[in-house]
Amino acid sequence: MTIEELKPPDDMVLPDNTVSGLQPISLLLQRRRAAAATRRHKAAYDRYSSVAVYKGPSFNAHLGCDEFPPHPNGWFCVGVGRQFPPGSVMTMPFMGSEIVIYRTRSGRLRITRPFCPHIGAHLGLGEVRGENIVCPFHRFEFGPDGKCDRTPYSEPPRISLSLLPSRERYGMVWVWNHHEGAEPTWELPSLDCPDVKTIRYCDFNVLPQDMMENLFDYGHFKSLHGLDVLPMGRPETDGPYCRFRLRNRHHLPVVGYIDENIEVDIAGLGMSHSRVKLPGEHRMSSWVMTTPLKENVTRMWLTATLTPVREGPVSRRTQDALEKVLTRFYWTLLAQDFFVFQSKRYFRHPGLAREDSQIGWYRHWCRQFYPPVDAPS
Ligand code: FES
Ligand SMILES: [Fe+2]
């Protein structure tokens, strides 16, 4: 309905706003309940994640820089599924704006743009009622399909939430970004790995593409990490998916050289999964995800898992403890890159050496994730 069509009819019946002594109290209680619920949701979010704040050297490398590529298209992580229990509503920065993530009482996860289509209140301050999200302003309710299906004083108008496509994969929650709001053109790949349970994150002044480039920057493995990492063959690509193998050679006294074979899967610019085979059937997985929060600020997520799991409460606790140690180990390794992430500038035309050819190849592959005219070199 347009604004012009909404002239009040002569016989309009207004909602019964008779003030009784009880009404203000019930509203007060409602607000207190909402505030307590917000605190609970935040606590649930924090229980399964740990945030790190980078405190090392930092320069504003993007001062006066006009070479930013736009936000890339694809799937981006917003946390672990357990951080969003039924009934929770959480707001998160995403691609220069915000998103509201909520889970209905039956467990359906939805991600929406934050502003209520009625008059624009922020839905992050709303609450879940059954399968609906309730706007905090006029308390219009929106169903899991995004449509307004209930209001306290009128026929529901034909308005809908701006829901974003979302998925729950590998124990994590993913949201789809497309510069024109198009539906997903590809899905997250099937990977044989256990669900992740907790996650660490930190924000940097860097582009997601630059952060992911780390995996193709073979030169820095030695110069920055002191590792003997070599690529095993060329990367295999299939559209937004890329898979390659690396060999990390360790030298142990008496034992000699031991090779660690790492298989890396990348999907878009938001997800990388590296798997190391251990003796027997054991495998270690490490995950690094990137999510653009706004221009030049990217959230980096890291987590790790271990397989196989033997069922039972004791082994599950041991498994959880081992996975936490493993995550800390990978975090320490990646932390060596943090000062670079925080202070590097994106160069459209980097001065690559011959041995850096993989970086050039990677940048070419990255172009598919941007609007065609804005694709970076
Ligand atoms: S602004 Fe959301 S119901 Fe009115
Ligand atoms: Fe690195």
CATH number where 268 lies? 3.90.380.10
Q: Is residue 274 one of the residues assigned to a domain?
A: yes
Which band of pLDDT confidence, cut at 50, 70 and 90, is reported for residue 12?
low
Q: Are 138 and 154 in contact (CB under 8 A)?
A: no
Going from the Cα of 120 to the center of ligand 1, the distance in angstroms, rounded, reads 6
Is it the case that residue 16 has pLDDT exceeding 60? Answer: no
Q: Is residue 241 one of the residues assigned to a domain?
A: yes
Residue 193 confidence (pLDDT): 87
Is it the case that residue 33 has pLDDT exceeding 70? Answer: yes
**Residue 121, ligand 1, Cβ within 6 A:** yes
Which band of pLDDT confidence, cut at 50, 70 and 90, is reported for residue 13?
low
Ligand 1 atom with the shortest distance to the CA of 121:
1
What are the phi and psi torsion angles at 42 (to 5°)? -65, -40
Which band of pLDDT confidence, cut at 50, 70 and 90, is reported for residue 61?
confident
**Residue 186, ligand 1, Cβ within 6 A:** no
Please name which ligand lies nearest the alpha carbon of 115: 1
Ligand 1 atom with the shortest distance to the CA of 126:
2
- Bridge partners (DSSP) of residue 174 are 77, 167
Q: Are 29 and 317 in contact (CB under 8 A)?
A: no
Higher pLDDT, 198 or 34: 198
Is it the case that residue 211 has pLDDT exceeding 90? Answer: yes
Is it the case that residue 19 has pLDDT exceeding 60? Answer: no
Distance set, CA 192 to CA 164, 285, 317 (Å): 27, 10, 22
Residue 313 confidence (pLDDT): 64
Angle made by CA atoms 317, 320, 325, in degrees to the nearest 5: 125
Which band of pLDDT confidence, cut at 50, 70 and 90, is reported for residue 11?
low
Is it the case that residue 274 has pLDDT exceeding 80? Answer: yes
Range of the structural domain that residue 243 is part of = 199-374
**Residue 142, ligand 1, Cβ within 6 A:** no
Residue 38 confidence (pLDDT): 87
Residue 214 confidence (pLDDT): 93
**Residue 339, ligand 1, Cβ within 6 A:** no
Nearest residue (by CA) to ligand 1, atom 4, is 138
Going from the Cα of 225 to the center of ligand 2, the distance in angstroms, rounded, reads 7
Q: Is residue 13 one of the residues assigned to a domain?
A: no
Residue with tokens 């949701």: 41
Question: How far, in whole angstroms, is CA 208 from its chain's centroid?
Answer: 12
Find the mean pLDDT for residues 326-340.
92
Residue 183 confidence (pLDDT): 97
pLDDT mean across residues, the chain: 89
Total structural domains within the chain = 1
**Residue 138, ligand 1, Cβ within 6 A:** yes
Find the mean pLDDT for residues 283-292.
94
Find the mean pLDDT for residues 270-289.
88
Residue 186 CA to residue 350 CA, distance in Å, equals: 30
Please name which ligand lies nearest the alpha carbon of 341: 2
Nearest residue (by CA) to ligand 1, atom 1, is 119
Residue 201 CA to residue 300 CA, distance in Å, equals: 5
Which band of pLDDT confidence, cut at 50, 70 and 90, is reported for residue 8?
low
Going from the Cα of 49 to the center of ligand 1, the distance in angstroms, rounded, reads 32
Please name which ligand lies nearest the alpha carbon of 152: 1
Model confidence over 73-102: pLDDT tens digits?
Answer: 999 999 999 999 999 999 999 999 999 999
Q: Is residue 249 one of the residues assigned to a domain?
A: yes
Find the mean pLDDT for residues 203-226.
92
Question: Worst-scoring range by mean pLDDT, 48-62, 117-131, 210-224?
Answer: 48-62
Higher pLDDT, 174 or 45: 174
**Residue 159, ligand 1, Cβ within 6 A:** no
With a pLDDT cut of 90, the percent of the chain lying above it is 60
Mention every residue, 6+ apart, whose C-beta is less than 8 A from residue 113.
97, 98, 99, 100, 161, 162, 164
